[in-house]
């Protein structure tokens, strides 16, 4: 079952609690009670696959003059049991319980009866056994590998039981078959119980951890950036959720500086199966990594455009709305040249999330230059800008969080020596820069940031909301394998 629970847990693999006050994790996730029960019901299919056609160890024994052997013991069918999950906050364990299951088993039998050298006989055949009221209860703990940051899972206890075994022999020696049934019920039941717990523990200790070992905790992004999904603490279990906590930041290899403090993040878990929250500090780490890796600058030239918009930088422009017409004094002094604009963010932007919106004020510098026909570049003047951008997020039931920016509004600071017509031209240029920057940033945002994913899990009915200094992504999930 816990392959499915962990598939849910490790879609994002971090912690959330409706009573959460921790400040050490920037990306957190919580699985609600409904999500855990969905995983438990899906897990029965996996357990059935483990048990059906499973061979059980042979057994033999003696009862006075009666000697028996049972072999080729095969579980033929496992009828779907009821299932439930309980969360034990005091012991930090999760208990998976199955009840009212049914098993059917076939086996070969052989007996020998030897009273003395004159009274002896033997027989063999095939028989079936039916077991009702099959019950399995497994206690589980979650942990994490401090080296890889991946979660792990292990069983702490398994308790199994079955009701009375109903054996069906074929033949005419009824009293001997009854004697045989009485002799083999106990060892057969012992082997069945052993196999039930073995299958349940294998699904957790082996299969679950095998899938978790494939979780990529350092996801490679474009431009040599990485998304850090490592767990930073042991997972916890509360009365209504399984909770994981992790780093949750984007970093540049030469400067891996993830935020160490985050605000309390509280949200109702009960509305969806899975809830993930991200602090504004973690979101800001993405912009900081881009800034530190020199990715927050634009060098806009005539050939930066795919269409005729590049003409607005031509110093020979005499028609339309272009730099040369707005800054005609400069343009006349530089025939056959073209303007260039270098836009560079001057400090790592900080993202703010509050009252249903997300935004950032970006401080930057603009450098206006001229490129002459011989490719000589001359600096003309510089400006300082503060730009307010609004940020929206998208999640279309896939494994990517998309983003886009809008409403770029800039305040420009000019030197006192700059002429009025130059200021007019620069303000126009800023409009073009904003359009160019918006187009390029939104192209990156369309690709989005990948969420950790285990094969076979899909998101459904996702919702994104902006809270006080964090965002919440809440979703149901579905297993499609």
- For the cut 50, the answer to whether the pLDDT of residue 233 exceeds it is yes
156: confidence class by pLDDT, cuts 50, 70, 90: very high
Q: What is the mean pLDDT of the chain?
A: 81
304: confidence class by pLDDT, cuts 50, 70, 90: low
Q: How many whole angstroms separate alpha carbon 260 and alpha carbon 420? A: 47
The answer to whether residue 260 sits within a structural domain is: no
Q: Which CATH number goes with the domain that contains 161? A: 3.15.10.10
Q: Assess whether 181 and 300 both reside in one domain.
A: no
- For the cut 70, the answer to whether the pLDDT of residue 325 exceeds it is no
Q: Assess whether 207 and 76 both reside in one domain.
A: yes
Q: Please tell me the pTM assigned to this model.
A: 0.75
Q: What are the tens digits of pLDDT across the range 405-436?
A: 888 888 888 777 777 767 777 777 777 778 77
CB neighbours of residue 280 within 10 Å: 24
Q: How many whole angstroms separate alpha carbon 53 and alpha carbon 106? A: 10
24: confidence class by pLDDT, cuts 50, 70, 90: low
Structural domains counted in the chain: 2
Q: Are 261 and 247 in contact (CB under 8 A)?
A: no
CB neighbours of residue 162 within 10 Å: 18
Q: What are the tens digits of pLDDT across the range 346-361?
A: 999 999 999 899 999 9
Q: Assess whether 133 and 40 both reside in one domain.
A: yes
Q: Are 304 and 310 in contact (CB under 8 A)?
A: yes
Q: Assess whether 47 and 185 both reside in one domain.
A: yes
- For the cut 50, the answer to whether the pLDDT of residue 222 exceeds it is yes
What pLDDT is recorded for position 408?
81
* Cross-strand partners of 243: 30, 236
Given 178, 212, 246, the domain boundary residue is 212
The answer to whether residue 471 sits within a structural domain is: no
Q: Are 153 and 141 in contact (CB under 8 A)?
A: yes
Instruction: Look at residues 459, 95, 19 and name the one whose alpha carbon lies nearest to residue 272.
Output: 459
What pLDDT is recorded for position 65?
78
Q: Assess whether 208 and 300 both reside in one domain.
A: no
Given 152, 181, 212, the domain boundary residue is 212
Q: Assess whether 200 and 301 both reside in one domain.
A: no
The answer to whether residue 271 sits within a structural domain is: no
What pLDDT is recorded for position 15?
32
Q: What are the tens digits of pLDDT across the range 238-259?
A: 888 887 887 888 888 887 778 8
6: confidence class by pLDDT, cuts 50, 70, 90: very low
Q: How many whole angstroms separate alpha carbon 282 and alpha carbon 268? A: 21
The answer to whether residue 29 sits within a structural domain is: no
Q: How many whole angstroms separate alpha carbon 401 and alpha carbon 82? A: 36
Q: Assess whether 192 and 61 both reside in one domain.
A: yes
- For the cut 60, the answer to whether the pLDDT of residue 174 exceeds it is no
- 168-176 mean pLDDT: 68
Classify burial at 219, counting beta carbons within 10 Å of its beta carbon; exposed 0-12, middle 13-18, buried 19 or more: middle
- For the cut 70, the answer to whether the pLDDT of residue 365 exceeds it is yes
Q: Which CATH number goes with the domain that contains 414? A: 3.15.20.10
CB neighbours of residue 301 within 10 Å: 15
Q: How many whole angstroms separate alpha carbon 174 and alpha carbon 451? A: 64
The answer to whether residue 165 sits within a structural domain is: yes
Share of the chain above pLDDT 70, in %: 87
Helix (H) or strand (E) segment spanning residue 478: strand 470-479
The answer to whether residue 24 sits within a structural domain is: no
Residue 107, C-beta contacts closer than 8 angstroms, at least 6 positions apart = 70, 71, 72, 73, 74, 126, 127, 128, 129, 188
Domain of residue 422: give its range: 296-450
The answer to whether residue 275 sits within a structural domain is: no
Q: Assess whether 430 and 323 both reside in one domain.
A: yes
Q: Are 160 and 182 in contact (CB under 8 A)?
A: no
314-352 per-residue burial string, b: 16 or more CB within 10 A, e: under 16:
bbebeeeebbbbbbbebbeebeebbbbbbbebeebbebb
What pLDDT is recorded for position 307?
58
- For the cut 70, the answer to whether the pLDDT of residue 481 exceeds it is no
- For the cut 50, the answer to whether the pLDDT of residue 11 exceeds it is no
Q: Assess whether 189 and 311 both reside in one domain.
A: no
8: confidence class by pLDDT, cuts 50, 70, 90: very low
Given 212, 228, 251, the domain boundary residue is 212
Is pLDDT larger for residue 69 or for residue 459?
Answer: 69
Is pLDDT larger for residue 54 or for residue 115?
Answer: 54
- For the cut 70, the answer to whether the pLDDT of residue 20 exceeds it is no
The answer to whether residue 345 sits within a structural domain is: yes
């Amino acid at each position: 079952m816990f392959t499915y629970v962990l598939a849910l847990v490790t879609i994002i693999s971090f912690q959330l609690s409706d009573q959460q006050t921790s400040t050490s994790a920037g990306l957190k996730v919580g699985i609600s009670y409904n999500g855990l029960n969905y995983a438990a019901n899906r897990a029965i299919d996996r357990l059935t696959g483990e048990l059906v056609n499973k061979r059980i160890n042979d057994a033999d024994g003696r009862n006075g003059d009666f000697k028996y052997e049972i072999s080729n013991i095969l579980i033929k069918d496992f009828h779907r049991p009821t299932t439930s999950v309980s969360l034990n906050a005091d012991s930090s364990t999760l208990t998976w319980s199955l009840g009212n299951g049914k098993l059917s088993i076939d086996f070969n039998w052989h007996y020998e009866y030897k009273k003395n050298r004159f009274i002896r006989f033997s027989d063999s055949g095939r028989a079936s056994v039916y077991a009702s009221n099959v019950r399995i209860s497994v206690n589980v703990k979650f942990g994490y590998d401090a080296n890889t940051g991946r979660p792990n899972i292990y069983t702490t206890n398994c308790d199994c039981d079955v009701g009375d075994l109903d054996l069906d022999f074929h033949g005419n020696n009824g009293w001997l078959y009854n004697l045989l049934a009485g002799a083999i019920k106990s060892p057969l039941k012992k082997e069945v119980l052993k196999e039930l717990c073995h299958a349940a523990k294998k699904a957790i200790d082996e299969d679950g951890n095998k899938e978790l070992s494939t979780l990529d905790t350092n996801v490679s992004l474009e431009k040599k950036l990485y998304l850090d999904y490592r767990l930073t603490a042991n997972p916890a279990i509360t009365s209504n959720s399984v909770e994981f906590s992790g780093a949750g930041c984007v970093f540049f290899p030469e400067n891996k500086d993830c935020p160490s403090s985050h605000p309390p993040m509280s949200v109702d878990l009960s509305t969806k199966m899975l809830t993930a929250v991200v602090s504004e500090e973690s979101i800001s780490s993405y912009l900081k990594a881009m800034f530190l890796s020199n990715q927050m600058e634009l060098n806009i030239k005539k050939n930066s455009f795919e269409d005729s918009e590049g003409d607005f930088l031509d110093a020979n422009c005499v028609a339309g709305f272009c730099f040369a017409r707005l800054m005609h004094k400069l343009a006349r002094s530089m025939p056959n040249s073209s303007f260039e604009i270098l836009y560079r963010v001057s400090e790592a932007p900080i993202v703010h999330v509050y009252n249903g919106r997300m935004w950032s004020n970006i401080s930057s510098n603009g450098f206006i230059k001229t490129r002459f026909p011989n490719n000589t570049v001359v600096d003309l003047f510089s400006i300082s800008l503060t730009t307010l951008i609004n940020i929206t997020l998208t999640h279309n039931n896939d494994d990517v969080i998309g983003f886009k920016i809008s409403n770029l509004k800039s305040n420009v600071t000019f030197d006192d020596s700059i002429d009025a017509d130059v200021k007019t031209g620069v303000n126009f240029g800023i409009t073009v820069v904003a359009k160019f920057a918006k187009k390029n940033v939104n192209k990156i945002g369309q690709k989005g940031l990948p969420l950790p994913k285990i094969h076979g899990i899909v998101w459904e009915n996702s919702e994104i909301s902006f809270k006080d200094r964090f965002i919440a992504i809440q979703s149901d999930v579905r297993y499609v394998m």
